[in-house]
């Protein structure tokens, strides 16, 4: 787990928006790249920052005996890992200066484990050549948004974790929120990983403040969906290309989308709103 701080000046600007993206899988054959580009461009033009919560890559490499097949490689070359890191860098380069953090996902972890290189870390370094300065995140992170107007500071904490568990397609990951709400203290809890889409408003915390007042505050979570076509659609005459997701998931998952975190600062206090586009 890592701690990260992202600074904003609210001397004049009082309203902020952040785009929350996960599971981009940019180098995957079935990535919805056109839709993703449109969403990233919208966030770049309209928002104050973009956060990437793991699985930016698929990194399906020949030694991945579970997922890799020749049909899904986007290039036929021996330096395939180097190629896809450059490919993803070029894809994200137009948005580099708005990308605040890039976290680890299970696909990046797998590449690090079996190929001794970290594609997420390399991506962070390479985006600096395109005017960006993204922080290199962990699989779990506490991301503190710090708003300073020169005389007053307010903060907002995001527990940013790529995701836990296997798939939870039947429960849709609902049971996970109780676990993380009880273990971590944050204003917002954010996961991806299982390619589902959800806003959870079921959590709360009751405590006594310094004045002895009993207060209850909400605990809310957001699960952002993936940008990959889990069940590929083929023409009747096409060959069958093996797809790991068809066997494992069984049914289609959520439509592609990204989360929006709106922050409004009024009288030195933060009001937030989260939703998925």
pLDDT in tens, 179-203: 899 999 999 999 999 888 999 999 9
Domain locations along the chain: 2-276
230 pLDDT more than 90: no
Distance between CA 57 and CA 31 in Å, rounded? 10
Distance between CA 173 and CA 70 in Å, rounded? 32
Structural contact between residues 173 and 198, judged by C-beta atoms closer than 8 angstroms: yes
Q: What is the model's pLDDT at position 166?
A: 58
Bridge partners (DSSP) of residue 161 are: 140
Task: Could you please state the CATH topology (level 3) that the domain comprising 2-276 is classified under.
Answer: Purple Acid Phosphatase; chain A, domain 2 (3.60.21)
What interhelical angle do 33-46 and 80-92 show, nearest 10?
A: 40
- The per-residue b/e assignment along 155-171, b for 16 or more CB within 10 angstroms, e otherwise, is ebbbbbbbbeeebbeee
pLDDT in tens, 212-221: 999 999 999 9
pTM of the model: 0.93
């Amino acid at each position: 787990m890592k701690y990260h701080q992202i600074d904003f000046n609210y001397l004049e600007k009082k309203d902020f928006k952040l785009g929350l993206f996960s599971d981009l899988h940019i180098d995957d054959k079935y990535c919805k790249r056109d839709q993703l580009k449109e969403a990233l461009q919208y966030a770049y033009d309209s928002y104050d920052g973009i956060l990437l919560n793991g699985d930016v890559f698929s990194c399906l490499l020949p030694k991945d005996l579970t997922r890799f097949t020749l049909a899904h490689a986007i290039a036929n070359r021996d330096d395939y890992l180097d190629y896809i890191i450059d490919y993803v860098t070029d894809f994200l380069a137009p948005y580099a200066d708005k990308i605040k953090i890039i976290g680890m996902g299970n696909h990046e972890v797998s590449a690090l484990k079996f190929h001794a290189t970290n594609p997420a870390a390399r991506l962070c370094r390479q985006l600096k050549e395109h005017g960006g300065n993204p922080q290199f995140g962990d699989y779990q992170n506490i991301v503190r948004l710090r708003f300073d107007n020169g005389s007053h500071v307010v903060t907002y904490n995001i527990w940013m974790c790529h995701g836990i568990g296997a798939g939870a397609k039947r429960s849709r990951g609902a049971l996970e929120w109780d676990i993380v709400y009880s273990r971590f203290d944050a204003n917002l809890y954010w996961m991806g990983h299982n390619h589902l889409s959800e806003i959870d408003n079921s959590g709360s915390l009751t405590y006594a403040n310094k004045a002895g007042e009993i207060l209850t505050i909400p605990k809310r979570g957001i699960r952002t969906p993936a940008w990959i076509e889990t069940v590929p659609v083929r023409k009747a005459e096409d060959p069958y290309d093996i797809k790991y997701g068809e066997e494992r998931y069984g049914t289609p998952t959520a439509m592609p989308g990204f989360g929006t975190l709106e922050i409004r600062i009024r009288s030195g206090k933060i009001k937030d709103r989260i939703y998925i586009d």
